[in-house]
Chain A
């Protein structure tokens, strides 16, 4: 099946809009393929909130379309409520300050 860039964009936007906490990463939470993605998963797991994750590695266009949308050059990218929160450094910093736990906590 041939997938177009528009279809990739639609799928990415649906994932961002359909999941309150959405992580784009290299690999999967169970098997991360990059240390920065692994570190971000660890922070999210420790924050204890449900999240969805998408592996960007299967098609190089996923990353291109995602970065064009978010204005963020690297992977991982964490979105909460449809907004880009940041990559590994920001997520780690927010986790250490306790802000991540509040940010990803399910809305009461």
Chain B
């Protein structure tokens, strides 16, 4: 399974009812995730991004994911 799809599945599972889209912007290991979820309501950006990092942390630690660009949006 492509890394992008692996990250997509992990984030989708972490944000049930949210909208997740992951794109590859270079070499398969530079990924960008756009997540829209009600879980972000009222949280500062730093906390929102930490929620996105958490489920894919292990892939960053191993270096499989070199970069993860994150864009979060709070939905109601």
Contacts and interface: CB of A to CB of B under 8 A. Distances in A.
A90 B50 contact: no
A72 B60 CA distance: 11
A106 interface: no
Interface residues of A, number: 14
A89 B69 contact: yes
Interface of A: 36, 71-74, 84-90, 93-94
B interface SS class: helix
B46 to A, nearest CB: 5
A72 B50 contact: yes
A93 B53 CA distance: 17
Nearest to A85: B46
Interface residues of B, number: 13
Nearest to B53: A73
Contacts of A93: 45
Nearest to B61: A73
Contacts of B68: 74
B29 to A, nearest CB: 13
B67 A36 contact: yes
B70 interface: yes
A71 B68 CA distance: 15
Contacts of A90: 45-46, 49
A88 B45 CA distance: 12
